């Protein structure tokens, strides 16, 4: 199976999942037309039938999709499934197998001050049935910060968000104005990166790197996933890393 087909299959399952899991009270037209556009784009790449809203699928104002339109869309997705577009492949499983090992589905997210990157990463993990562990969302129980960190670090995998939170430069005794400053991750993020590098092994740690951030020196042998604006850009690559680390998850 070619990489292109795997990518298209992934995008198709993701689009179908976004439609099925929509939680809004109102099914706004502009949102659902974009969702259908994503679904059809992947379907076309796989030679599958496309979906199109009919006039009677819209409300009288045209601003929302009716229940009839939404149910028609769900029926279309079911037809795609019956034609095995969700068939298991070599990259992802479509169901989560039960595993009682401690921390088997837990993924620690090391982060700095970029809330958007944190929320996007958390959302990706939640969508596939993994359990994100975010330290500042865990109960304190009277623990010191390091004690709390040690308690909640019993996980299967760690994702480290390297975002432009600090600025630094090499001090080579040159005048301050001549130094070359670069964006860097916060010191606590680099500390936790080193901690998990030692605790879990390099194959169970990856870094999501904002494009304008300096890579840590002397920390090699782990995956770096660079992105420009949104962590969603590297979602497929992230799931490949998680799969390689033997985490099992679902797409839909």
Question: Using one digit for the tens of pLDDT, what is the confidence trace for 56-65?
Answer: 899 999 999 9
Assigned domain for 65 exists? yes
Residue-wise pLDDT tens digits, 70-80: 988 988 888 77
Phi-psi sector, 58: left (phi>0), alpha (psi -120 to 50), beta: beta
The gap from C-alpha 61 to its chain's centroid, in whole angstroms, comes to: 35
Q: Cα–Cα distance between 62 and 55 in angstroms, integer?
A: 9
Q: Looking at the structure, do residues 115 and 215 belong to the same domain, yes or no? A: yes
b/e map of 236-247 (b: 16 or more CB within 10 Å)?
bebbbbbbebeb
Domain stop point among 21, 50, 82: 82
Is the same domain home to 37 and 152? no
Q: Does the pLDDT of residue 167 top 80, yes or no?
A: no
Residues 26 and 62 in one domain: yes
The mean pLDDT of the chain is 81
Which residues span the domain enclosing 61?
3-82
Do both 146 and 187 map to the same domain?
Answer: yes
114 lies in the same domain as 237: yes
Question: Which H helix or E strand runs over 156?
Answer: none
pTM over cut 0.75? no
Number of domains in the chain: 2
Q: Tell whether 140 and 69 lie within a shared domain.
A: no
Give the residue-averaged pLDDT of 21-25. Answer: 83
Same-domain check for residues 191 and 153:
yes
Q: What is the pLDDT of residues 203-225, one digit of tens each?
A: 899 999 998 888 887 677 788 99
Contact status, residue 139 vs residue 131, Cβ threshold 8 Å: no
Q: Are residues 120 and 49 in the same domain?
A: no
Range 196-202 average pLDDT: 88
In terms of domains, do 45 and 152 share one? no
Same domain, 42 and 154: no
What's the DSSP call for residue 159?
E
Q: Which of 20-29, 39-48, 108-117, 178-187 has the highest mean pLDDT?
A: 108-117
**188: pLDDT strictly greater than 70:** yes
Band (28; pLDDT cuts 50, 70, 90)? very high
Here the CATH number for the domain that contains residue 190 is 3.40.50.450
DSSP assignment of 77-142, as one string? HHHHHHTTTT---SS--SSPPP--STTTTEEEEE--S-HHHHHHHHHHHHHTT-EEE-GGGS--TT
pLDDT at 94 over 90: no
What is the per-residue pLDDT for 179?
64
């Amino acid at each position: 199976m070619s990489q292109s087909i795997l990518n298209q299959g992934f995008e198709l399952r993701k689009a179908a999942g976004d439609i099925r899991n929509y939680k809004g009270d109102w099914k706004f037209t502009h949102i659902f037309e974009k969702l259908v556009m994503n679904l059809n784009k992947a379907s076309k790449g796989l030679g599958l039938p496309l979906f199109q809203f009919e006039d009677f699928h819209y409300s009288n104002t045209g601003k929302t999709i009716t229940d009839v339109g939404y149910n028609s869309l769900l029926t279309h997705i079911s037809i795609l499934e019956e034609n095995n577009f969700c068939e298991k492949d070599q990259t992802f499983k479509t169901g989560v197998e039960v595993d009682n090992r401690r921390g088997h589905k837990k993924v620690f997210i090391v982060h700095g001050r970029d809330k958007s990157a944190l929320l996007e990463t958390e959302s990706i993990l939640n969508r596939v049935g993994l359990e994100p562990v975010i330290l500042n969302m865990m109960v304190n129980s009277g623990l010191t910060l390091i004690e709390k960190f040690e308690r909640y670090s019993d996980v299967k995998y760690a994702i480290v968000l390297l975002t432009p939170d600090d600025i630094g430069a090499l001090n080579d005794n040159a005048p301050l104005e001549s130094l070359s400053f670069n964006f860097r991750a916060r010191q606590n993020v680099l500390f936790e990166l080193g901690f998990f590098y030692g605790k879990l092994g390099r194959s169970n740690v990856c870094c999501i790197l904002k494009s304008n951030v300096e890579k840590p020196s002397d920390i090699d042998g782990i995956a770096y996933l660079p992105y420009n604006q949104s962590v969603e850009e590297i979602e497929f690559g992230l799931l490949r890393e998680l799969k390689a680390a033997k985490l099992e998850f679902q797409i839909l």
